[in-house]
Amino acid sequence: MTTNKGTVYFIGAGPGDPELITVKAVRILRQADVIVYDRLVNKALLEDTKPLVELIYCGKLPNQHIIPQEQINEILVQHALKGKLVVRLKGGDPSIFGRVGEEAEWCVNHGIRYEIIPGITSGISAPLYAGIPLTHRDFSSSCAFITGHKRTDKGGPDIQWEKLATSVDTLVFYMGVGNMALIQEQLLRHGRSKHTAVALIRWGTTTSQETLTGTLENIADRVLQANFRSPAIIVVGDVVKLREKLAWFENDASDYFQIAK
């Protein structure tokens, strides 16, 4: 590896609240020559950077990519080959449905040094800000993170529903709002109780946070009635019942952000 090559840092930006990013990530952002960032990254994180930093937006909407993944890979490598410090800034944690493995492989294939700085994933933080811990001695001893996004020719997530439905206490779905009816149908079909509590948390950890609750029997209808849209995390499991007692953020969001200032 030659010494004139730059470095690519894959950084988790956290779930939305700009204070939920690591100290190390902030330090690297301040040194970056190029920042390639996603749609769910809080723009406040881009303000404390070098004056001449190059910002490249590559946000992705459901079924719509501003820049194709292959082109993102090339952008990272080409800037690093010029000796620049490149940051790939991803919402949440880069390893949780963030395609960091593919992008890091691309760096390896081109002899580019890289480092991965973890972030707080929305699948943990959004439920917590809604008063829902994913595990609890009385309710849940296991949890699973699942993509709810379309991946198969049949138009649904590639999931082994028959094994997932009853083997894990708490199920956390990313990118699944558009497939809520399918998720509901499959979990019920494979043995999950219709009385299981469900919550959807939209724009978690931000002042725009909203939470919609129901049961596995009625949640799809409630999503439609409320016109509840992405980005949102879906939590399925009895831990959702704790929200009534533990919800803290939505009741005091204005006070929270005032203190944070």
Residue 17: exposed, middle, or buried by beta-carbon count in 10 A (0-12, 13-18, 19+)? buried
Of the residues 84, 105, 120, which one is the last residue of a structural domain? 120
Asked if residue 16 belongs to a domain, the reply is yes
Q: Which domain holds residue 148?
A: 123-246
Structure confidence at residue 59 (pLDDT): 81
Give per-residue pLDDT as tens, 3-13: 589 999 999 99
Residue 97 lies in a domain: yes
What pLDDT is attached to residue 149?
79
Strands of the sheet containing 7-12, edge to edge, are 54-57, 34-37, 85-90, 7-12, 113-117
- Report the domain count for the chain: 2
* Per-residue model confidence as pLDDT tens digits over 25-77: 999 999 999 999 999 999 999 999 999 999 999 987 665 567 899 999 999 99
Asked, for residue 206, whether it belongs to a domain, the answer is yes
Q: Does any domain span residue 163?
A: yes
pTM of the full predicted structure? 0.90
The CATH code of the domain that includes 101 is 3.40.1010.10
Top mean pLDDT of 62-66, 128-132, 148-152, 157-161 is at 128-132
Catalytic residues: 38, 60, 175
